Amino acid sequence: MTADEIRAHIDPMRHEFAESRSLVLPALKFAQTEKGHLDRDDLAAVADAVGLTSAYVESVASFYDRLYLKPTGKRIVSVCVTLSCLLRGSDELLRRIEEREGLPHGVGTTDDGELTVQEAQCLGYCDRAPCVQVDVDETMGPLSADDVERLLDDLRAGDRPERLWR
């Protein structure tokens, strides 16, 4: 993404922060929506738009789980594995994904590059455990292993969203 596109996104919020550095997270999140991850050029564009160095921007980006510095699939599927979900069967979901997609422990990017499955820590939907989130769409649950299988099929068949908020 270009620095100008990023500027157009963050300029309307500038007055809300006493220091412009606060715009780095909104800028990174927006820059990521183009490809689903951030490459060197994106980091440089964010640095330019916010007025920071690329090295600084990269060190911030690397801190956050939901900013991706490596290519990901069309959709990211986050399976919660924390305690409430463990107690209601999250590991069965991952086992099914492992079986079906051939991903070790059920996580990673599928061979066709369509889907990235990752382990998530508590998603805040423990009353609907075990639960799964696709990108930053609303978290779904409780899901059975069969539900998850259907979900993966649907996501594969579905279109790539115009902007990849994740």
Q: Which residues of the chain form contacts with ligand FES (CB under 6 A)?
A: 80, 82-85, 122-126, 129, 131
| Closer Cβ to other proteins, 112 or 160, answer by number | 160
CB of 2 to other proteins, least distance (A): 20
Please choose which of ligand FES, other proteins, none residue 17 contacts, taking the beta carbon within 5 to 8 angstroms, the exact cut-off set by kind.
Answer: other proteins
Q: Which residues bind other proteins (CB under 8 A)?
A: 13, 16-19, 21-26, 28-29, 50, 59-60, 63-67, 78, 81-84, 86-89, 91-92, 120-130, 133, 136-139, 142, 144-145, 165
Q: Based on CB atoms, which residue is closest to other proteins, 111 or 127?
A: 127
What is the arrangement of strands in the sheet containing 75-80, beginning at the earlier edge strand?
108-109, 115-120, 75-80, 132-134
Are the beta carbons of 146 and 100 closer than 8 angstroms? no
Question: H helices of the chain, where?
Answer: 3-10, 24-35, 40-50, 54-61, 83-87, 90-101, 145-157
Q: Which does 140 bind (CB under 5 to 8 A by kind): other proteins, ligand FES, none?
A: none
**Which does residue 2 touch among ligand FES, other proteins, none (CB within 5 to 8 A, set by kind)?**
none
Alpha-carbon distances of 79 from 3, 55, 101, 120, rounded to whole Å: 33, 31, 14, 5
21 binds, among ligand FES, other proteins, none (CB under 5 to 8 A by kind): other proteins
Partners of 109 in the β-ladder = 116
Cα–Cα dist 31/49, whole Å: 11
